[in-house]
Amino acid sequence: MNKARTLIAALAFLVALPVGAQYSQLGKKNEFMMKVEAGYGPYMGNLGEAGEYGHYLNKYHHGTDLNVILGTNISQDWFLGGGAGFAYFFSNHEGAESLMGANVFVDFDFRPIWKAIMGQDYQPTSIKWAPEVGARAGGSLLLGSSDTYGTTFTPMIEVYGGLNWYYWYHMNGMRNMTRNWHSLYVTLGVAYMQQTVFLPIRIGWRW
What are the pLDDT tens digits along the chain (207 aa)?
444 444 444 444 433 443 344 333 445 578 889 999 999 999 999 998 898 889 999 899 999 999 999 999 887 789 999 999 999 999 998 888 899 999 999 999 999 876 555 554 545 445 678 899 999 999 999 998 767 888 999 999 999 999 998 887 666 655 444 556 788 999 999 999 999 999 999 999 998
Query: Which parts of the chain fold into alpha helices (H)?
Result: 2-29, 167-172
Supply the pLDDT for residue 11: 40
Sequence-separated (6 or more) residues with CB below 8 Å from residue 3: none
pLDDT value of residue 130: 87
pLDDT score, position 204: 98
CA distance 196 to 55: 8
Look at residue 17 in the predicted model and tell me its pLDDT.
41
pLDDT of residue 127: 66
Q: How far apart are the first and last CA of the chain?
A: 52
How far apart (Å, rounded) are the C-alpha atoms in residues 48 and 152? 14
pLDDT at 94: 85
User: What is the amino acid identity at position 129?
Assistant: W
Question: Do 187 and 165 form a contact (C-beta atoms < 8 A)?
Answer: no
